[in-house]
């Protein structure tokens, strides 16, 4: 079943077309990677679907319903959650309160009985390393990312957007994150993740969607997309393109 | 489940305190405030007058902080809304001969209605823009009070029927003290509930709050409506206590005074402003009465203090107290400061 589908989704900022008619879909239970070079429009795409920055064209279908232009709170109640690329906590709240907001207000349609216990469960699920009374202001970026993930999970989403969760992690931490992402999926949560770290993408994503300058340039099984010459070209840039051009042409002729 | 069980084990006194969101120390403070105007030297009329002014500012700072300290919007039109409540009540009492008590009630409702619209108008605006919008609305209200001479007598001033016949300030003091307590109990009760969490969330990070399922429209309107209703209530007291209303009472400098008290007391604490208001207003009145030929001096003092607090202790008195006095070793002191644990 397609849990999410976008049809020619576009987002324009004044003269800049940040997302240009992107059609894609995510199947229930999948871990899908959204990749593309810096400034490709990945975050903008997530925002357009989640309602933080409503799309200027196209349609969003979430769980079979046309949710184009829905507010973020409405999308959250429908079962869409997201973590932020730059984690945005509530500076003066404690870690527990931060998660509580989502546990209490994100579950409007499917109330949790004991939000405090639920929030504690989320904090331990993401292995949040600090005490629950820690004020979020005093956390570092990695701790904030875990906290933000716990917050996103506390609303019991059906679909979870992860925006560069692993950015800035060390090799060892990367392994933890891989396990964590799989653990989330095993809870029955579908994942669409924006990521730059190839190692992580290759090991957890089943499918990939690649965008460049707001346009979708590839979509399909991970191995296939990763081998796609247009994708490697997009990542390696122009200079490499010239050097590689004989190969690419050869490849194209063969294919 | 656990909390309700624990609550039922508390004795009646602690249960009442919990219901009023008061710590034992706060209750003692209130008792002192009740007795204070009866003991010399505080039993002189002009000093009780100062106490009234202090309790009014204390109550105003609580309901001001309910907005500024939680949803993070500084309502620069706050005292204009106080004025709206006052004028509404005064005019109704004057024209229709209704009781001032009913007038105060209607005045509060009218201010609440304006708060409701202010909440809607500023919905799409973030922090500072909403503050500016509220400020302009306040200036417009003040302009209206100045120009609608047929209704308000403009800057000539509107004579208002007083609440009590007696010239004594004492009954007024108990009325405003009660209003202060009501303001505190309502706002603190609301912010202790889930709603308080939603207020803090939309005040501290709108995007995170919205993606966590919080509808900012609803909570902002509720907050503005309640805060302005309480402002209108205080305005009614002001009108029927001082017995005269002029448009100047709605001036932004009055709001700034409330803001200073609320921030020095501690943003988001509600009680901090109420506590510091009393020594402050006393000090300010003393400065004013000894240096009466220097208008605006109190504002300069407020400004300086505010700057000092913002630089050295941005959490204000409440944070200072929390940090240094909230965990005393002595069991009795601990109880006084923290009350009985309910969870
Ligand atoms: N609010 C905005 N107003 C104007 N332009 C914007 C806005 N948000 C993003 N953009 C522009 O849209 C383009 C896409 O940005 P976006 O943040 O979506 O890229 P991204 O793929 O997430 O990049 P990164 O990998 O660096 O996170 C960029 O050119 C950016 O400057
Ligand atoms: Mg991005």
Give the mutation target among A11, A12, A15, A18 for probing the ligand 1 site: most ligand atoms within 8 A of CB: A18
Distance A188 CA to ligand 2 centre (A): 25
Let me know if domain A2-249 sits in CATH 3.40.50.300.
yes
Mean pLDDT of B32-56: 91
Structure tokens at B250: 């709605």
Burial B200-236 (b: 16+ CB within 10 A, else e): bbbbbbbbbbbbbbbbbeebbbbbbbbbbbbbbbbbb
pLDDT at res. B6: 52
Q: What are the distances in angstroms from CA A43 to CA A37, A63, A99, A194?
A: 11, 21, 23, 8
Tell me the pLDDT tens digit for each residue of A124-136: 999 999 999 999 9
Tell me the pLDDT tens digit for each residue of A55-84: 999 999 999 999 999 999 999 999 999 999
Range with the poorest average pLDDT among B106-115, B176-185, B319-328: B319-328
Is A166 a residue whose pLDDT tops 90? Answer: no
What is the interface pTM, i.e. ipTM, of the complex?
0.86
Q: Name the 3-class secondary structure at B325.
A: helix
Which positions in chain B touch A100 (Cβ < 8 Å)?
197
Distance A84 CA to ligand 1 centre (A): 14
Tell me the pLDDT tens digit for each residue of B178-191: 999 999 999 999 99
Of B27, B88, B343, B129, the residue nearest B237 (C-alpha)? B88
Structure tokens at A6: 């976008």
pLDDT at res. B122: 80
Contact at 8 Å (CB) between B199 and B160? no
- Domain ranges within chain A, ordered by starting residue: 2-249
- Domain ranges within chain B, ordered by starting residue: 42-278
Q: Reduced to 3 DSSP states, what percent helix, strand and coil does chain B have, rounded to the nearest 5?
A: 75, 0, 20
For ligand 1, atom 8, the nearest C-alpha belongs to A44
Tell me the pLDDT tens digit for each residue of B251-270: 888 899 999 999 999 999 99
Structure tokens at B270: 């509600």
B69 to chain A: closest CA residue: A92
Give the mutation target among A40, A49, A214 for probing the ligand 1 site: most ligand atoms within 8 A of CB: A40
Q: What angle do CA B25, B30, B36 make, to 5 degrees?
A: 120
Would the CA dihedral through B39, B40, B44, B47 be positive or negative?
Answer: negative
Structure tokens at A204: 């957890």
Tell me the pLDDT tens digit for each residue of B232-245: 999 999 999 999 99
Is A253 a residue whose pLDDT tops 50? Answer: no
Of A136, A203, A201, A197, the residue nearest A170 (C-alpha)? A197
- Cα(A247)–Cα(A233) distance, rounded to whole angstroms? 12
Mean pLDDT of B214-230: 94
Is B148 a residue whose pLDDT tops 90? Answer: no
């Amino acid at each position: 079943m397609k849990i999410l589908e976008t049809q020619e989704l576009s987002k324009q900022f004044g003269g800049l077309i940040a997302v240009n008619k992107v059609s894609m879909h995510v199947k229930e239970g999948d871990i899908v990677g959204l990749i593309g070079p810096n400034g490709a429009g990945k975050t903008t795409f997530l925002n357009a679907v989640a309602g933080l920055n409503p799309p200027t064209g196209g349609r969003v279908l979430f769980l079979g319903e046309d949710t184009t232009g829905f507010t973020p709170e409405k999308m959250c109640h429908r079962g869409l959650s997201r973590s932020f690329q730059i984690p945005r906590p509530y500076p003066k709240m404690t870690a527990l309160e931060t998660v509580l907001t989502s546990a209490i207000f994100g579950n409007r349609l499917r109330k949790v009985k004991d939000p405090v216990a639920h929030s504690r469960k989320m904090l331990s699920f993401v292995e949040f390393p600090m005490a629950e009374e820690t004020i979020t202001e005093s956390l570092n970026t990695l701790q904030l990312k875990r906290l933000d993930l716990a917050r996103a999970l506390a609303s019991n989403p059906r679909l979870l957007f992860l925006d560069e969760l692993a950015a800035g992690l060390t090799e060892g931490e990367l392994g933890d994150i891989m396990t964590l992402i799989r653990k989330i999926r095993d809870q029955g949560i579908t994942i669409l993740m924006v990521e730059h770290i190839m190692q992580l993408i290759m090991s957890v994503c089943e499918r990939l969607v690649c965008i460049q300058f707001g346009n979708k340039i590839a979509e399909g099984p991970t191995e296939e997309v990763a081998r796609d010459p247009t994708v490697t070209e997009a990542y390696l840039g122009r200079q490499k393109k010239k050097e590689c051009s004989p190969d690419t042409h050869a490849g194209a002729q063969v294919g | 489940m656990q909390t309700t069980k624990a609550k039922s084990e508390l004795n009646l006194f602690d249960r009442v305190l919990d219901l009023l969101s008061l710590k034992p120390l706060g209750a003692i403070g209130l008792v002192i405030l009740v007795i204070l105007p009866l003991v010399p030297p505080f039993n002189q009329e002009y000093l009780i007058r100062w106490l009234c002014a202090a309790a009014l500012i204390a109550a105003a700072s609580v309901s001001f902080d309910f907005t500024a300290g939680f949803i993070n919007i500084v309502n620069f039109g706050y005292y204009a809304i106080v004025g709206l409540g006052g004028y509404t009540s005064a005019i109704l009492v004057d024209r229709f001969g209704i009781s001032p008590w009913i007038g105060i009630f209607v005045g509060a409702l009218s201010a609440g209605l304006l708060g409701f619209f202010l909440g809607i108008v500023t919905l799409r605006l973030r922090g500072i823009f909403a503050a500016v919008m509220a400020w302009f609305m306040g200036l417009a209200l003040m302009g209206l009070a100045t120009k609608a001479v047929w209704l308000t007598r403009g800057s000539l001033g509107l004579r208002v029927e007083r609440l009590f016949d007696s010239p004594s300030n004492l009954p007024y003091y108990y009325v405003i003290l009660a209003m202060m307590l009501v303001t505190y109990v309502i706002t603190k009760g609301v912010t202790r509930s889930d709603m308080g969490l939603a207020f803090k969330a939309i005040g501290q990070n709108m995007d995170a709050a919205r993606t966590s399922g919080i509808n900012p429209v609803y909570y902002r309107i509720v907050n503005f409506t309640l805060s302005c209703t309480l402002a209108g209530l205080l305005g009614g007291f002001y009108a029927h206590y001082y017995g005269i209303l002029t448009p100047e009472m709605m001036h932004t400098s009055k709001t700034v005074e409330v803001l200073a008290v609320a921030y020095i007391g501690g943003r988001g604490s509600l009680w901090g402003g109420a506590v510091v208001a009393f020594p402050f207003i006393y000090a300010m009145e003393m400065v004013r009465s000894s240096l009466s030929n220097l208008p605006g001096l109190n504002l300069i003092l407020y400004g300086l203090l505010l700057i000092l607090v913002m630089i050295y202790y941005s959490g204000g008195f409440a944070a200072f107290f929390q940090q240094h006095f909230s965990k005393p070793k002595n069991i009795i002191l601990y109880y006084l400061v923290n009350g009985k644990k309910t969870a």
